[in-house]
Amino acid sequence: MPYPTSSVQNQRFIASKQLLPGDWANNVTDALYSSQRILLTSAATQAAAVTLNAAQVELLTGAASGAKLPPSYPGAEITILNNSGNAQQIFGTGADVVQTTGTTYAAAATGVVLASLACAVYRCVKTGFWQRITTA
């Protein structure tokens, strides 16, 4: 169940007696319930970071490295649990920025740190910007 892209997720439908497309319904389900467990092994750079592909992600034991959020679009939400034993860098994709504190955003290539055993929810309200709510 891969995390859907904005073009698939943000479809508009014409009112009619027809059923909704099955692909669209599957993408809504994927956006809400898809999960992924990742063993991180790459360097902590945006270019080398593993791109996340699920709504619920667990980072497993691995070296201090990085993960990359999928491309942002309004309504997107990713929850990450860092069970890796090391602090991990979380990057945006392309030029997407991630909130560090209050009104401050980290440059896309810099990313933000997610402490070991912490959980964070990343929400996109505006294209290009990920808001972060973290437990630690």
As a whole number of angstroms, the distance between CA 96 and CA 92 comes to 5
**pLDDT score for 81:** 96
Judge: domain 36-134, CATH 2.60.120.640.
yes
Residue 31: its H or E element: helix 22-33
Mean pLDDT is highest, among 2-11, 28-37, 93-102, for 93-102
Task: Say yes or no to pLDDT of 10 above 60.
Answer: no
Q: What value does the mean pLDDT of the chain take?
A: 84
Q: How confident is the model at residue 11 (pLDDT cuts 50, 70, 90)?
A: low
Higher pLDDT, 61 or 115: 115
Predicted local distance difference test score (pLDDT) of residue 15: 62
**Can you tell me the distance from the alpha carbon of 3 to that of 135, in angstroms, rounded to the nearest whole number?**
23
pTM of the model: 0.82
pLDDT digits (tens, 9 = 90+) for 30-61: 777 888 998 887 678 888 888 899 999 999 97
How far apart (Å, rounded) are the C-alpha atoms in residues 7 and 48?
Answer: 25
Q: What percent of the chain has pLDDT over 90?
A: 43
What pLDDT score was predicted for residue 21? Answer: 72
16-25, 46-55, 83-92: which range is least confident on average? 16-25
